[in-house]
Amino acid sequence: MPLSFRDKSNFIREHVIVLLLLINSFSWYAMAQLIVAKLTDKIGGDYYASLCLKSAFPLSIIISALIGAVFLSKVRKTSVLYICSLFGIVASLFPAAPIFDSFLGTIIVAAVLGASLGLGMPILLGYFAESIPIENRGRISGVTFLMVMATAPLILTTVSIPSPLLSALFLAFWRSWSIPLLLASSKKIEPESLHQRTAPFVSIFRDRTFALYFLSWFLFSMVNSLEALILSPHFGEFSFAMNIVEPVIAGVSALIGGILADRIGRKIVVFGFVSIGVAYAILGIAPYLLISWFVYVYFIIDGFALGLVWMMFTIVIWGEIARHNIEKYYAVGEIPLFLTDTISPLFAPLIPETSTFSVAAFFLFIAVVPLLYAPETLPERKIKQRQIQTYTQEAIKLKQKTEQKQK
């Protein structure tokens, strides 16, 4: 299955810039998330204090993304991305400042890091949706996630640096290479017309297609966060599989899933939901993780599911549902990814460990139901066009082989 793109002259420039900007933002987010977790563990405190520290980063991303989608949607978007990148460089240095070495200081650091990402993320994702042809969005998204997951060893190495100053400097350096990418972009991202009606956030949920996909995404994210909290204490001896093997599999899965999504449609995401249900069923067969190879099978299947689902719901889906106010769709659509990390610690103690797999299976089953009623976001004509291109290519190859045999 070749990884080909239409209009290759466009891809060489604008598509590569968008791809690299997404890689920069997602990998920076992963590094910042782990650095904030490291600061939180250092401060310690009781359960609720620790929960406040862990919630500051994801909540600040949600709030700043909503603010950015409302107040920055009418501003020149190229300028917003420049400012957010510079803000991110400055915010990256906050973890090294001694004045923030306290409970309140850690919350400030987490909030500033999150805000620097959240303000520009809906605009960057809107830039992706406006720049990439709909029939290539799955491929570009898959390549993006593969490259982000390939940076997993670098991310872990950065976080393991003992010196907070070196970690902060590397984080700032990583964010800084988004600036030359923006300078190299020939596409100036302009705001929507000032006279165009701005839809309130409530109206987004009145969009039936959005509501169905959002409900499935929220339930999936909630199950994934809860299971991670409950199961992670048992995975200490499998740290290599959890930190290296699973991200690599997730990246490959995102790439393959993106290629297939451009061929047969976005509802291929259902396979991700089914796969993660199978992964939890495998762990249920091996209680207390006594059979180690079962756990490795779990990581393989779980990585496959996460790569496919994350790729579709963080980059592709919302930009195709939106007809206007695309930044608002992305700002609201990304909420489950961050919100469930905040609220899942409240529910995790209420679920008995012996019931964790049955609870996961139940909610994953519910999560699949809305997808069955959700319409396909990739236009049918694009699917048929891709199929015709495939059949034409196969026919040409068959004709060439036949002519060679006759000679």
pLDDT per residue over 40-59, tens digit each?
877 766 677 778 888 899 99
Q: Indicate whether 15 and 69 sit together in one domain.
A: yes
Please check whether residue 114 is in contact with residue 61, taking contact to mean a CB–CB distance below 8 angstroms: yes
Which residue's entry shows tokens 């393989």?
A: 300
Asked if residue 67 belongs to a domain, the reply is yes
DSSP structural state of residue 11? I
Asked if residue 390 belongs to a domain, the reply is no
Asked if residue 114 belongs to a domain, the reply is yes
Q: Indicate whether 168 and 208 sit together in one domain.
A: no
Mean pLDDT of all residues belonging to the chain: 80
- pLDDT bucket at 35, cuts 50 / 70 / 90: confident
Q: Which of 155, 187, 219 is the last residue of a domain?
A: 187
Task: Tell me what the mean pLDDT of segment 244-248 comes to.
Answer: 80
Task: Tell me what the mean pLDDT of segment 25-30 comes to.
Answer: 92
- pLDDT bucket at 18, cuts 50 / 70 / 90: confident
Q: What is the pLDDT of residue 282?
A: 74
Q: Indicate whether 251 and 168 sit together in one domain.
A: no
Q: Indicate whether 344 and 220 sit together in one domain.
A: yes
Q: Indicate whether 212 and 311 sit together in one domain.
A: yes
- pLDDT tops 70 at residue 73: no
Indicate the number of domains in the chain. 2
Q: Indicate whether 171 and 209 sit together in one domain.
A: no
The amino acid sitting at 76 is R
Asked if residue 384 belongs to a domain, the reply is no
- pLDDT tops 80 at residue 399: no
Task: Tell me what the mean pLDDT of segment 194-201 comes to.
Answer: 58
Contacts of 163 by beta carbon, 8 Å cutoff, 6+ apart: none
- pLDDT bucket at 62, cuts 50 / 70 / 90: very high
Q: What is the pLDDT of residue 389?
A: 62
Asked if residue 264 belongs to a domain, the reply is yes
Q: Indicate whether 44 and 135 sit together in one domain.
A: yes
Q: What is the pLDDT of residue 194?
A: 43
- pLDDT bucket at 38, cuts 50 / 70 / 90: confident
Q: Indicate whether 109 and 247 sit together in one domain.
A: no
Rounded alpha-carbon distances, angstroms, from residue 280 to 57, 233, 284, 289, 338: 28, 16, 6, 12, 22
Domain containing residue 304: 203-376
Q: Indicate whether 237 and 183 sit together in one domain.
A: no
Asked if residue 305 belongs to a domain, the reply is yes
Show the tokens assigned to 92. Answer: 């990256």
Task: Tell me what the mean pLDDT of segment 184-213 comes to.
Answer: 71
Q: Indicate whether 357 and 232 sit together in one domain.
A: yes
- pLDDT tops 50 at residue 1: no
- For residue 74, the domain's CATH number is 1.20.1250.20
Task: Tell me what the mean pLDDT of segment 109-115 comes to.
Answer: 93
Q: What is the pLDDT of residue 188?
A: 56
Q: Which of 187, 218, 250 is the last residue of a domain?
A: 187
- pLDDT bucket at 131, cuts 50 / 70 / 90: confident
Model confidence pLDDT, tens digit, residues 293-316? 677 777 888 888 889 999 999 999
Q: Indicate whether 211 and 360 sit together in one domain.
A: yes
Question: What is the Cα 269 distance to its own chain's centre?
Answer: 14
Task: Tell me what the mean pLDDT of segment 269-278 comes to.
Answer: 87
pTM, full prediction: 0.86
Q: Indicate whether 85 and 179 sit together in one domain.
A: yes
Cα gap 90→377, rounded to integer Å: 38
Asked if residue 401 belongs to a domain, the reply is no
- pLDDT tops 60 at residue 6: no
Asked if residue 66 belongs to a domain, the reply is yes
The amino acid sitting at 198 is T
